[in-house]
Structure 1
Amino acid sequence: MKLLIASIPEVSVDERKEALLRASNLALARGVTTVVDVGRYFPGASVELSWEDLSDVYRWADSTRQMKIRVCLFFPIETWSRLKGLIRESGRKLSDWIFLGGVKAFSDGSLGSNSALFHEVAIHAIGDRANHLILDLYESVISANGVRDRRLRIEHAQHLAAASAKRFGRLGVIASVQPDHLLDDADSAAKKLGIERANRGSYLFKTLLSQNAELSFGSDWPVAEINPLKSIKTAMFRKPPGWEMPWIASECVTLNEALKAYTISAARACFLENEVGSLSPGKLADFVILSANSLDAFAMDMSVHIEATYVGGVKSYP
């Protein structure tokens, strides 16, 4: 990782500003009106990168009225005290466009700060052991500090041990998952995990819901494509390229379950359910118009596309 980081070229502030505008246009074309972002940070990089993106790019776009989509920002867990101070000073809502979410960590990183943090924690965990360890950590935080509305998250939650799904529900941990990753993993999971283990614990969307866990869908872009309409179909049908049958058919979700995971549950995962996530009195009017005439038509027609995207009641695409 250190060799890789040393080879990454510097990106100027102007290039980052232009990238935000291009990415926002792509998001709008795909019907996305709110995203979660940790900026340029990744393990091994400077924790200052996320904060520089806030000050140099997002605040610039906001002050010059060039924000096109809403963003909920997460920051490296090492900087939790700085985020805590900013939230105390400004609240979670910096503007109608920029919201402060919480901190992001990786399951093999330093987690010692979690029990002291009063704001949302999102930890990356893919394997069954990593998810088990993070659930242990979250349970210890709840046991030590009491039950409250923390909305602790595990990012990805792709492969789970037998009892983990029930623990998500019991502990109130949000499973922040990305359906399209299963398209890439289906062929390799059997080789790496064995068919029985892969089929028993991979992408347990329906099982998580049955255990009263909150399921929040996203894309993980640019690792996977930013395309909610496609991801909804992936979660419903679970058919990787070249497959005739679903991968673990029992874990297919309904259209309503997928829509909820991509809208109000995704908003709840960011403490934004009072602003976005549904068309309700008092909320921001963020919505899309589809080429389909009904939900049934959308569910069965793979050619359905975004005809228009509205942000705050204003047509933003095309």
Structure 2
Amino acid sequence: MRSLSIITAALLISASALAQQVGWNNIHGYGFDSQGQLVQFQQLLVDTETGKVLARGNAIQSDYPDANWQDGQGKTIIPGLIDGHGHILGLGQNLMRVELRGSQSEQEAVERVAEFAAKHPEQQWIQGRGWNQVLWDNNEFPSTALLDEVVSDRPVWLSRIDGHAGWANSKALELAGITKDSLDPPGGRILRDEQGNPTGVLLNNARQYISAILPEPNEAETIQALEAAFTELLSLGITSVHDAGIDSELARLYQRLRAENAIPLRIYAMLSARNPDLQSWLDQGIIDDEHDLLLIRAVKLYGDGALGSRGAALLSDYSDQPEHRGLLVTEPDRLTAQMQATIEAGFQANVHAIGDRANRMVLDRFEQLASPEQLQQGRHRMEHAQIVSPDDIPRFKALHVVPSMQAVHATSDKNMAGDRLGMARLRGAYAWRTFVDQGSPIVGGSDFPVELANPFHGLHASVTRQDQQNQPVGGWLPEQRLSLTEALRSFTRDAAYGAFQEERLGSLAPGMWADFIVLEQNPFAIEAEQLWQLEVLQTWLAGQQVFSR
């Protein structure tokens, strides 16, 4: 793993070593024009001093004879990819904890915990993430029993893959004071057995019982996690991330790292509405950066929970749990006040909403709280927009609300979404095609570490509506597929639009930042089923190489 300091040093060294103008010919180049149309080119020229694209085309080399021209050897160059919804610190921490993603049973998950605990006797808490009971044979939530068999002397806390549920052993429940008599908090639920005893699974706001007692990482551990995440993201061709919900401490650390020239990719940070000092950030105003390496002008707000843990707020009962309609994790009046404060401060309001009830509730508030000018200029976003009533989809366009959607959620959820919703409600579920056809730009992303950060998984899911085993045949809800051009635009130009950066990022056009990646294979020349297998050879940021395989 390359450390943050090494990456930063590489930036400085390459800046002095390269000629001011560097060009590539014999490439398969792709970008976008000002209208969002795909542009192909065979030559690309960048100014390494300014970090901007000078020119692109098929016969520009003769116009720049003094540039350092290199043979691209038929490789493919596309704009640096933008993940429009991720969690950078969470990704880094995840890389240093128990990985439960892909476990096929509760027993397998427990075995992974046991192995990790044995290797890390120094850790006071055993933490991990990624379990998903929907993939297990019994399709049931886990309990403390098996966890207690392998780790009983230390607390264990394991987040579900969506981050909206957690699984604890008895030691963790004891330290948190969770007993048979504990009350469910507003917007949360403690799962219980037939005798009313906690099973060890906490949903949504109930997770706060554990999070309140988790040891806080020190600054060195936080920076170590950030370094791991930065390195991972650059290796995947991700040059910009919309960091979805950061606390004040991380915001201040980002500011300090930026001042030290120690952030090697672009961060568009959303302040968490859960920050107790949110108003002081709003009063301070937008934090801008002429180099676009750190921009703070958005707030992440929270509507409901997630579908997999039945926390998404629905208009009607869950099909597989009558008389249950999910959870609103922020009390409606409080959400109204937070949205109003955000909009009035001139910040972008990006609201987590998965269920159709949550999406309607948030759309109603945008309509009530913001003037037409505030809506158009604010580019306010719905984060996830997974289950939307077909009647509400046109309201996104009318209210200028941008859907920020993660294609991999559809292929991850396809095995349980029908059970949770029934077929009728799937008409407005994961409806990318419907949004694009009405003219709503989609901010693409992954929601890492809920899903893997690899953006090619998202491109593959967008185009095929299939998992990586290419199932189901023909795709799940295939009428909602996107073309490859549309999918790529969601991870580049349209994601930049969702951060007010489409004039500077995402198109690889002259005058824009020279953020691009080099691929061995041409995504437009391979079978769509192979898109998820693409690998990045090089990643360039502002005309400087920051990753090489």
TM-score (norm 1): 0.89
Instruction: From 288, 295, 304, give the equivalent of 1:99.
Output: 295
2:259 matched residue in structure 1: 63
Q: Does the Cα contact within 8 Å between 1:37 and 1:73 map onto a contact in 2?
A: yes
Instruction: From 200, 207, 220, give the equivalent of 2:447.
Output: 220
1:173 matched residue in structure 2: 401
Please identify which structure carries the higher helix content: 1
Change (3 A) 1:28 1:144: closer
CA distance in 1, matches of 2:496, 2:369: 24
Summarize deviations over 1:64-88 as a string: whole Å, max 9, x none. Answer: 3321111011112364432333336
1:284-295 equivalence runs, <5 A = 284-293=513-522, 295=524
Q: Which shows bigger deviation, 166-175 or 64-73? A: 64-73
Q: Does the Cα contact within 8 Å between 1:267 and 1:277 map onto a contact in 2?
A: yes
Instruction: From 217, 234, 248, give the equivalent of 2:461.
Output: 234
Q: Does the Cα contact within 8 Å between 1:287 and 1:311 map onto a contact in 2?
A: yes
Change (3 A) 1:80 1:274: farther
Deviation at 1:146?
5.7
1:129 matched residue in structure 2: 357
Deviation at 1:132?
0.8
CA distance in 2, matches of 1:10, 1:68: 25
1:244 aligns to 2:473 (yes or no):
yes
CA distance in 1, matches of 2:220, 2:256: 11
Percent identical residues: 28
1:307 matched residue in structure 2: 537
1:1-318 equivalence runs, <5 A = 1-38=207-244, 41=246, 50-56=247-253, 58-77=254-273, 79-87=277-285, 91-93=287-289, 96-107=292-303, 108=328, 109=330, 110-111=334-335, 112-115=337-340, 116-143=344-371, 148-198=376-426, 200-240=427-467, 241=469, 242-293=471-522, 295-297=524-526, 299=528, 301-302=530-531, 303-318=533-548
Deviation at 1:294?
5.8
Summarize deviations over 1:185-204 as a string: whole Å, max 9, x none. Answer: 11111111112322x12100
Q: Does the Cα contact within 8 Å between 1:101 and 1:271 map onto a contact in 2?
A: no
Higher relative contact order (CA 8 A, sep 6+): 2
Please identify which structure carries the higher strand content: 2
Aligned partner letter, 2:434: T
CA distance in 1, matches of 2:423, 2:368: 33
Secondary structure of the residue aligned to 1:224 is coil
CA distance in 2, matches of 1:70, 1:142: 29
Answer with 1 or 2: which has the greater Rg: 2
Q: Which shows bigger deviation, 142-151 or 272-281? A: 142-151
Q: Which shows bigger deviation, 103-112 or 215-224? A: 103-112
Secondary structure of the residue aligned to 2:241 is strand
Summarize deviations over 1:84-132 as a string: whole Å, max 9, x none. Answer: 33336xx432754111131111113222132333210000000011101
1:45 matched residue in structure 2: none
Gapped regions of structure 2 (runs ≥ 5): 1-206, 304-327
TM-score (norm 2): 0.53
Give the number of aligned pairs: 305
